[in-house]
Structure 1
C-alpha cells in the first residue's frame, strides 16, 4: 500500500433517510479515504430467492468513487435472509442436537449444502455485477467467521471421515490413542461412531473442536477461491478475525485457528475492541496487533475498531487519536471504525458509531477529523512498517481447548495465562511476536514464552529442547508437556520431555485448600518479596534436579517444594513456573530475562508511556511514544531526532500531553 487507509464501515441500507451525499461530504472533511460496505445485507440484495437488486450497492459505489473514497466490499454471507431460513430450515445451525431459531446473525451451518449453494450464488451474482467498479480496492470474505458450534449430521459424518483419514482407517489405533476403552466408549465399527454432542472423552472432544476450526479454514478458503475468480490484479482479499470476547477483545480466539485460516488471504484483517476512558491501557490493541501481524509477518488491516461503542466506552479527548497511532505502531496499514452512524433500530441501537443518532458533528467526529488530517500528511512515513521482535509468545488452540476440558481453575482459563504473560512485556516496552506450535521458527528469537502448552506433540517439545541447547531462552508455564497431541497424558516424568532442559520434575500437583498458600522467593532470585504472592488455583510441587529454585511454596505442608525454577542447559536457559503467580511476580521474572538478554533500554521511559519502534519504507527508524495516562509525561532527550508531525528536531525533555502521541524519526537516517 502507498498510504494509511483511514475510514469506517458504512451501511447505507440501515439509514432511516437518504443522506449519502451529506455523509460523503462529512467523510471528506474528516479526511477518510476508505469505507467497507455490503457484508451484512444479503436480505436487501436478494429479497426473494433468485430476485437480485444491487441498486443500493451501486449507488454507494458510484458516490464513493466519484468522491475519491476507496471501497472494500464484503461478501454478505454471515447474516442469512428470512426466505432462506423458511425454504431451507436445515440451514439453521444445530448445536447439541438443538437447531437455533432464526433471528440473530451467524446462526447458519457453514457446512450445509443448501447454505453453500445459495451463499455461492449471492457471492457470484454480486461480484459479476460490481467487479469492474474502479472504486473497489479489496474484498472482505464473510465476517468474524466461526463454526458456531455446528454439530449437524453432515458435520458428524465429516468428522468420522476426518478421523478415518487421520488414522489410516486403523480403528484399533484410534481407540488406543483416544482411550476409548474407558466407560465402554470403545468404537468397534466406524458405523457405531456416536455423535460428539454427548462425548465425555476430552481427547475426542478436543479433536472435534480442532475439526470444527478446520471447517472455518475450509469455509474461508472456499470463499477466497470464489472471490479470486473475479478480483482484479491490484485488488486484495481479506477477512476480519476477532478474539475471545469478554465484553472486548481479550485473548486467543478459541474457535478459529488464525494461522491456518489466514493462509489464502492477501492481507490479514482483524476487529479489535478494548476498554476506554480510565480503563484504556492499549494492551488489547497491542496483543491483537502482534498476533495478526505475526501471521504473515507483514502489515495488516484493522477492519473494525470502536469509535464510541457502548456508553461506558465513549472515549476521553485524545484517546481516539492515541488508539489510531497505537494500531499503526503495531503494524496496521488501515484503521476503520465500526461504524459511521449509530443504528436507529434493532439489536445494536446503542452501539454508537462516529456519528450519534442525530448524524451531526460531535467531539468524536472532530477528533477523527484531526487524526485524518494528520495521517494525510504523514501517511507515507507510516505505511508498510518493518517490525522486529526478539521475543515470541507461543500460543496453542489445541492446548486452549484441552484446558477447557480439564480446567486448572474455576474462574480462569488459558487466556488468563496468556494475558498474565503478555501484559508485562507490553508494559516493559518489549516488542513481541505471537505464533503457534506449527508456525514458529524458534531460531528467530532470543526468548520464547510458553503459556501452558498442555497438549502438544513430542516433535514440538524436542524442537524447543534443541532451541534451548543451542542458546535459546524459554519461559514455561505449568501443565506444559502434560499430554500429547491427542490429549493423552504422557507416562514419563513430568513436565514430560522438557524435563531435560528445565532441570526439574514433579510427582504431585495440588489445588491448595483453605490454608493460605503463597510464594517464598529465593533471596538471590529476581522476585521481590514485596509482591503479591498469594496462590489459589494450581500448584505443581516441583523437585529441582539441576535447576536453581527462584521461589518455594510458603505453605505449612508444601513448603519444601519449589514453585519457580531456572535451569541452564547447553547454551540456553529455561524458567519453569509451576503455578499462576501474580502479574508482579511474572513482571519480575520477565525483567530478569530481559536484562540477561539485553531486551530493554534502561533510559527508555516506563509505562504509562508505551514505546514502540519500527523501520519505514524510507529506511528511517521510527520511535512511537504513546501516553496511556491522564497526566502530562516527560520524555528523554530527542535532540537528534525529528518530530514527524512538525518536521522539527526534538528538544530536550519533550513533554507529551495526557493521552498524547509523539513520533520521532532519526534525522538523516541515523541509527
Structure 2
C-alpha cells in the first residue's frame, strides 16, 4: 500500500446519529484535514436487521457523503460484533470460557471463532459488502473485522474442542505422535482416541503445558481463519484494494502479530498510552518498533488512539495540552503513515460515551478539537514523509510461542515477557538507538546487535540463526532462562541454554529465582548494582567472566559472561540488572557492536528517530521531558513544521515540543 501523504482521521459511526448531523460532520472533517475514516465497524445489526434482509440505503448515503467531501473510507466488514438475532437463532455461536461459563450478547465479540454458523453468516455479509461497494469512489482500504482477540481470546466449547482435535490431527497425524509431543506418560494422561482430547479446560491443578501451548497456537489460528475467510472474499471481488485489520494494545498476547502481518497488505495498530505513566512513551515506542518490523520496515497505520481520555482504565486521565500532538508525531517518527483516532464524534450513549473523540461533547470550540485541527494541518504539510522508512542496527527478538510458553504454570518463578523486553528495550530508547523488534525467523544479516531476552522456548532453527549471526561478526546479548525447552515444551538435553551452549560457552547448572521483591548484589566489570527477579548458577565452558554476583549463595559466581565465536561475540546475563546497570551493560555491548545513537549528546527526555527516503532523510526530535531542550544538529536542516528557523543548526524544543527536520 502506497500513499501520497500521511493519512489523518478516525473511526466514524454515523449510525449513532440522525442524518442531519452527517452534513455537519462532513464540513468539520474537511476543515480538520481528515482524509480517511473507518466506517461500518459495528454496523452489522443496522445493515442486516433480520437474517438475509439487508438495508444498505443509509450506508450508501454515508459513503456518498464521504466521496463528495473527498474523504476516503476504510470500510469495515462489520463482522466484529454479531447482531442479537444470530445468537437468538443459533445460541451455539456463543463462546465459552475454560470454566464452562457461556458468554452472552450485550457487549461485543460474542462469538466462537470456530463456529461454522458464525463464519457462514459473516461470509455472506462480506460478499454483500464487496459486491455493493467494491467500486465505490470513497473506498480506499478494507478494514477486516476489528481488534481480533480483544475480548474472546479463546473458546472452550464443544465446537472449539472438535476444531482443536482437527487442528491437532493436521499437526501430529496420529494419537501416538500427540502423546509423545505432550509427554502424556506423566500423570496418566495418555490418550487412546482423538475423542478423549479436549481443550485445557479448568482442571484440579496444573494442566499439561504442551497441551496449553498447542491450544494457544490453535486459538490464534482459529481467529486468524475468521480473518482470512473474509479477506479472501474481498480479494476475489476487489483485488486492487488493500486490506488490513487493527492489532490492539502495544503488543497483544493472544494474537501472533508477526504471523498475521504476512496475511495483510498493511499493518495497523491501536495505541493507547497512559497519561498517568511518565514512561508510557517508551512502552509505546516498543509497540511501534514491533509493528513496523512485522512487515520488514513497511510503513504502518496508527488506526486508533485517544484524542484525550479513554473510558476503560480504572482512572482515565485526559491528555494534557500538547501530549496528543507529541504522541501522534512519535508514531509517525517510528514509521506510521497514518494518524487516526477512536473516534470522530463522541458518543452520546453506550459503554464508550466517556471515551474522548476528535469532536467532543463540548463541540468544535473545545481544546481537544482545536488541537486536532492544528495537528491535521501539520500532517498535511508533511506529506513528503509518506513512504519513507526507519532503519535499525539493533534487533530485539520477540516470539509469541515463547510468550505463551514462558508464562505458563509450575516454573521456577513467574516471568513477565513484556517486562523483560522493556528492561532490555528501554536503555536503547533512552540512548537514542533505533531498534527493530523481530520474529525468530527474521533475516538478521543487516543487524550489528541482536538481543534475546528470556527465550525459554528455543527451536534449533532459531539457535542456528543466532549462531550464524555471531559467527559472521555480529554481537549477541542473551538473558537468563533461555534455551530451556523445545517447541513441545520438552527440556533440551543437558539443560539450559540448550542448543546455544556452544555459542555462549557456558551451561546453566541451576535456576535461582529471587524472593518476591528480592535483589542480589552485582559487580559487572567494575560497575556495582543489583540484580532483580532472577539469578542462575552458571558454569563457564569457554566464556570469559565479565561480572559476578557479590552476595548470597552465588557470591563470586558469574553473572555476566562474554564468549568469542567466529568473528563475533555472544554475551550472557544470568540476572536482570537494575535499570542503571542494565543501561551500562547495553552501552558496553552496543559499543562493541559499533552501534551509534541517532544523534549523540541529546538532553534527557528527548527522543531522536530518522526516517529515510530515496534521496532525503528526516530527523524527528520529540521532547518527552518537562523542561525546554536545546539540540545541536550536525548540519543545517529545515523544519517541516515551521517552528524552527528556516535553516537551523540548533533546535529549541519546548516541553512536549516536536521538530521534523529535512536534511
Task: After superposing the two structures, state which structure 1 stretch, 640-649 or 419-428, moved more.
Answer: 640-649
Offset at residue 638 of structure 1 (A): 5.5
Write the mapping of 1:187-586 to structure 2, written as runs, cut at 5 A.
187-198=191-202, 200-231=207-238, 233=240, 235-243=241-249, 249=250, 252-276=251-275, 279=278, 281-297=280-296, 298-310=298-310, 312-379=316-383, 381-406=384-409, 412-438=415-441, 440-513=442-515, 517-522=519-524, 524=525, 528-529=527-528, 531=529, 533-535=530-532, 537-586=533-582
Number of the residue aligned with 2:170: 165
Offset at residue 193 of structure 1 (A): 2.3
Structure 1 distance, partners of 2:373, 2:22, is 18
Task: After superposing the two structures, state which structure 1 stretch, 582-591 or 75-84, moved more.
Answer: 582-591
Number of the residue aligned with 1:151: 156
The answer to whether the Cα contact below 8 Å between 1:241 and 1:269 also exists between their aligned partners in 2 is yes
1:64 aligns with 2:66: yes
1:135 aligns with 2:138: yes
Secondary structure in 2 matching 1:543: strand
Offset at residue 294 of structure 1 (A): 1.1
Deviations 1:323-351 (A, max 9, x none): 22211111111110111122111211211
Task: After superposing the two structures, state which structure 1 stretch, 640-649 or 628-637, moved more.
Answer: 640-649
Structure 1 distance, partners of 2:354, 2:579, is 35
Structure 2 distance, partners of 1:399, 1:118, is 35
Offset at residue 639 of structure 1 (A): 4.7
Give the aligned CA root-mean-square deviation in angstroms.
2.1
Cα distance 1:471–1:8, how it changes in 2: closer, same or farther (>3 A)? same
The answer to whether the Cα contact below 8 Å between 1:29 and 1:369 also exists between their aligned partners in 2 is yes
The answer to whether the Cα contact below 8 Å between 1:73 and 1:138 also exists between their aligned partners in 2 is yes
Deviations 1:455-506 (A, max 9, x none): 1222221221222122121111211110001111122142112121112222
Number of the residue aligned with 1:661: 658
Cα distance 1:190–1:201, how it changes in 2: closer, same or farther (>3 A)? same
Residue of 618, 624, 627 corresponding to 1:622: 618
Secondary structure in 2 matching 1:138: strand
Secondary structure in 2 matching 1:301: strand
The answer to whether the Cα contact below 8 Å between 1:638 and 1:651 also exists between their aligned partners in 2 is no
Cα distance 1:186–1:232, how it changes in 2: closer, same or farther (>3 A)? closer
Structure 2 distance, partners of 1:277, 1:632, is 21
Number of the residue aligned with 2:605: 608
Q: Which runs of 5+ in 2 are unaligned?
A: none
The answer to whether the Cα contact below 8 Å between 2:199 and 2:215 also exists between their aligned partners in 1 is no
Structure 2 distance, partners of 1:516, 1:60, is 59
Deviations 1:31-52 (A, max 9, x none): 1111111011111111111221
Structure 2 distance, partners of 1:569, 1:341, is 58
The answer to whether the Cα contact below 8 Å between 2:472 and 2:567 also exists between their aligned partners in 1 is yes
Q: TM-score, normalised by structure 2?
A: 0.93
Q: Which runs of 5+ in 1 are unaligned?
A: 244-248, 667-671
Structure 1 distance, partners of 2:477, 2:410, is 21
Deviations 1:154-179 (A, max 9, x none): 3222222222232232x333322321
Offset at residue 517 of structure 1 (A): 3.8
May I ask how many residue pairs the two structures share in their alignment?
648
Number of the residue aligned with 1:114: 117
Structure 1 distance, partners of 2:420, 2:359, is 38
The answer to whether the Cα contact below 8 Å between 2:305 and 2:340 also exists between their aligned partners in 1 is yes
Structure 2 distance, partners of 1:294, 1:534, is 30
Offset at residue 514 of structure 1 (A): 8.3
Number of the residue aligned with 1:669: none
Offset at residue 375 of structure 1 (A): 2.0
Offset at residue 17 of structure 1 (A): 7.3
1:100 aligns with 2:99: no
Number of the residue aligned with 1:43: 45
Q: TM-score, normalised by structure 1?
A: 0.92
The answer to whether the Cα contact below 8 Å between 1:282 and 1:323 also exists between their aligned partners in 2 is yes
1:185 aligns with 2:185: no
Cα distance 1:240–1:512, how it changes in 2: closer, same or farther (>3 A)? closer
Offset at residue 606 of structure 1 (A): 4.1
Number of the residue aligned with 1:246: none
